[in-house]
Amino acid sequence: MGLSAAKSSQLYSGIGGSQSGPSFTGERIDVASCIPCVPPAITAAGKAVTATAGIVGGLWLGSKANIIYNESARNLGLPADLIGTQDAGARQQGNRHNSGPLDPSNGGTGNSQQDFDRLTGGVSGPAPEGSSYPPGTLIGENGIVFRPGEKDTGSRIDIPANGTKPHETLHY
């Protein structure tokens, strides 16, 4: 028993659509119904196994996807030492240390946004609404904060304390 001309045409149009080259039309074709020698019970069992494997695989990957995506930011952690340039303006002020821009020996580029992305692995979001941060502030998942410059001041990167290293503010 072969495919009818109508079924064969439907199968072809769903896969390729024209003889000039493939173009997926989005039409779903139940291939099992096109093969008359496959008993319905086997077809149903195959569909159930495929659906179950897809759900289990999707649940597993879904639970790991956030970990995979955020792994770079989490692995960066926080520096154990001061990482800004220690120029004439660098000094301890209370429980905070003011430094110059990210030192080139620590990957500094001189561009505050690029340096912030380097320190956070590029994983950040806006400061919460209603917070005391200025507009345009970004907060990395590892707690590092980018505060954009204002008319009288350059941008700043705030790095939380870590162990014996105090909170450090990089000034640009």
pLDDT digits (tens, 9 = 90+) for 9-38: 443 334 344 344 333 344 444 444 444 555
Per-residue pLDDT, 151: 87
Cβ pair 103, 85 in contact under 8 A: yes
Name the band, by pLDDT with cuts 50, 70 and 90, for residue 47: low
15 C-beta neighbours (distance < 10 Å), count: 14
- Token output for 24: 């997926």
Find the DSSP H helices in the chain.
Answer: 5-15, 31-34, 40-76, 112-120
Which residues have CB under 8 Å from 119's CB, separation 6+? 76, 102, 140, 142, 144, 157, 159
